[in-house]
Structure 1
Amino acid sequence: MAGVSIARVFAISETFYDILFNKGKPISACPGGAMLNSSISLGRTGVTISLISEFARDNIGNSIYEFLRENNVSTEYLHRYEGKSPLSLAFLNDRNDATYEFYEDFPQERLLTDMPCFAPDDIVMFGSILSVAKEARNKLETIINSAKNAGSIILYDPNFRESQLPLIEEIKPMISKNIAYSDIVRASDEDMKLVKGCENSEEAYEFVLENGCDHLIYTSSSDGVYLNTPSFSKFYEVPSIQPVSTVGAGDSFNAGIVYMLYSRKIRDIEDIQEHVWDEIIGKAIDFASHVCMSTENYISNNFANGLKKI
């Protein structure tokens, strides 16, 4: 249902500096992290976006900080600590899908950021590694609870990594609670298989419903997208492309969802009609497909400028 104009978007996750490898050689490097990637895409479209995250006061951190500001992402709620900013190494296989290795040296106290004053018109997106980091859990829950109590729309992306599997029994209760906080869960088939052993969208939706959220967007790479809501379920095909890199594809998909919620001034997820969901999912697929065609983790300025003209 359209209502009062959505004022702001907040994105919460870890921040990395990404180095991309192909056949053992580095081919690109840029700021990364799940919600940073989404934030850059949204900032380029003109959405009012703030990143809630943390990284160090080092040269890499300075580069990330300037990059955010250049792309219209508010840095008001960043925490910068003394030490080294984390690195993410992404290794592409023959299909240009990535596996990851992470190098981190976080301080003992995590996510020491100021708290936004949330409003019903806000959208909050969170997920990935920070959403299940026990050292940051208390602060993260305080932030998410504040947003939920304010009536903000909350989108959660588990973005679960295979490297986290040894900790799955410790992490799973946090994932369940994250789902319970959320109005929309956007999860990949890989997420749902690793976390719960789900083999398809129906099993994934059952898991999400059990944990208190009734809207699931289940992405299955080139096989398509499945939308599950209380009133209907639907499958969406994706275009056949030869990706350059899939790094940032899911993050850009999330940015496309939020871009449409923001642009259409949607306030009530329960009242979104099927034809509007078609537009939302279609735009998210456009965002993700575009990002797969480059080594950047976000939509290009040219793509963003085309949206502004529309």
Structure 2
Amino acid sequence: MAELVDLGADDVLVVGEALVDVVTTADGETHEHPGGSGANVAVALGRLGRPVRYAASYADDARGRSLAAHLAESGVRLACDPHVLARTSTAQATIAADGSAAYVFDLEWKLGEIAVGTPRFVHVGSLAPVLSPGAETVFALLDGLPDGVRVLYDVNMRPTLTGTGQEIVSRIERAAAYADVVKASDEDLETLYPGVGLDDAAARLLALGAGAVAVTRGGDGASWITPSERIDVEAEKVTVVDTIGAGDTFSAGLVDALWDDFERDRREVLAHGVRAAAVTVSRAGANPPTRAELGS
């Protein structure tokens, strides 16, 4: 059994899938990188110096041990015993000439008992609230959170794995209702609500109870949307190697920027997330920056 830490206090609890990315680059080479949306967020926050605990699942196999080492190197602690799977999940990622990634998943999602504690933030994302049986554990966790815990939910849709039917939409909407901030890409919103446009899609999430919607728009930057305003920031100019982990790093950047002041200027919050994600896309795999690399 993996060693667990004491119940957290005033830290961030990240809940989401861990896996190994098997990446085939545009020139045909194949490499393996530890990853998964939740793992990427946890590692990014650890590298930024935030106290972070992580609830996920992987096997006690070679790939699982590589994930465990990757997490530990960035100071990520475990909030549950991850060894509830027979084999560690993988994502076959194929990189196009523009650095974008297409994924094929071999993944199982379930969770052991989570030591929730009293975190300052909870970050939930991607497959965590939509793929059973782990989704049921995630919603039980969200239902039982202590008062005052801030929730950031990253939609990060994976339609090739989950589909896009009404059950998936309903689970995403249910998760959004818990969130102080919903993070989504423009592609996520188009997949979730086809044809309605970015602003109307964000308005639907806000109507469910989300406090704000932070939208990444690739090379066009990012937006912060509430019922009363929309704030846009430009993207950082960078040579893209691949986009693996970019959205996860952006999400971690939001949590980092809001850590000491949840009312911080939203343009500064967005710019911090964009700057962090720009570092990740400039190098191979989900390899988020440290605090020193961001210079902040």
Return the TM-score normalized by structure 2. 0.91
For residues 10 and 281 of structure 2, the distance between their equivalents in structure 1, rounded to whole angstroms, comes to 29
Contact 2:221 2:274 in 1 (8 A): no
For residues 168 and 223 of structure 2, the distance between their equivalents in structure 1, rounded to whole angstroms, comes to 25
Q: 2:91 aligns with which of 88, 102, 125?
A: 88
For residues 62 and 147 of structure 2, the distance between their equivalents in structure 1, rounded to whole angstroms, comes to 37
SS of residue in 1 equivalent to 2:83: strand
For residues 196 and 63 of structure 1, the distance between their equivalents in structure 2, rounded to whole angstroms, comes to 37
| 1:247 matches 2:244 | yes
Q: Give me the CA root mean square deviation.
A: 1.9
2:232 aligned residue: 235
- 1:199-214 alignment runs, 5 A limit: 199-214=196-211
Q: 1:142 aligns with which of 136, 140, 144?
A: 140
SS of residue in 1 equivalent to 2:70: helix
Q: 1:128 aligns with which of 108, 126, 129?
A: 126
Partner amino acid for 2:292?
N
For residues 190 and 162 of structure 2, the distance between their equivalents in structure 1, rounded to whole angstroms, comes to 11
1:218 aligned residue: 215
Contact 1:77 1:116 in 2 (8 A): no
- 1:1-310 alignment runs, 5 A limit: 7-23=10-26, 25-105=28-108, 110-119=110-119, 122-147=120-145, 149-164=146-161, 166-262=163-259, 265-266=260-261, 269=262, 272=263, 276-300=265-289, 303-307=290-294, 310=296
User: 1:292 and 1:199, CA in 2 relative to 1: closer, same or farther beyond 3 A?
Assistant: farther
For residue 165 of structure 1, report the CA deviation from its aligned partner: 6.1
User: 1:134 and 1:82, CA in 2 relative to 1: closer, same or farther beyond 3 A?
Assistant: closer
For residues 77 and 242 of structure 1, the distance between their equivalents in structure 2, rounded to whole angstroms, comes to 38
For residue 68 of structure 1, report the CA deviation from its aligned partner: 0.9
Partner amino acid for 2:52?
I
For residue 245 of structure 1, report the CA deviation from its aligned partner: 0.4
User: 1:13 and 1:240, CA in 2 relative to 1: closer, same or farther beyond 3 A?
Assistant: same
Contact 2:57 2:85 in 1 (8 A): no
Structure 1: 5+ residue stretches without partners: 1-5
Deviations 1:202-261 (A, max 9, x none): 112211122221301111111121211244211111123330001111001011111111
The structure richer in helix per residue is 1
For residues 175 and 104 of structure 1, the distance between their equivalents in structure 2, rounded to whole angstroms, comes to 19
User: 1:105 and 1:139, CA in 2 relative to 1: closer, same or farther beyond 3 A?
Assistant: closer
SS of residue in 2 equivalent to 1:217: strand
For residues 155 and 223 of structure 2, the distance between their equivalents in structure 1, rounded to whole angstroms, comes to 16
SS of residue in 2 equivalent to 1:79: coil
For residues 245 and 170 of structure 1, the distance between their equivalents in structure 2, rounded to whole angstroms, comes to 31
For residue 166 of structure 1, report the CA deviation from its aligned partner: 3.3
For residues 57 and 162 of structure 1, the distance between their equivalents in structure 2, rounded to whole angstroms, comes to 28
SS of residue in 1 equivalent to 2:69: helix
- Give the paired residue count: 288
For residues 42 and 223 of structure 1, the distance between their equivalents in structure 2, rounded to whole angstroms, comes to 24
User: 1:231 and 1:138, CA in 2 relative to 1: closer, same or farther beyond 3 A?
Assistant: same
For residues 62 and 151 of structure 2, the distance between their equivalents in structure 1, rounded to whole angstroms, comes to 33
Structure 2: 5+ residue stretches without partners: 1-8
For residues 274 and 81 of structure 2, the distance between their equivalents in structure 1, rounded to whole angstroms, comes to 29
For residues 153 and 45 of structure 1, the distance between their equivalents in structure 2, rounded to whole angstroms, comes to 19
For residue 62 of structure 1, report the CA deviation from its aligned partner: 1.2
SS of residue in 2 equivalent to 1:84: coil
Moved over 4 A (4+): none
Deviations 1:25-66 (A, max 9, x none): 344321111121111111112100011111111111111112
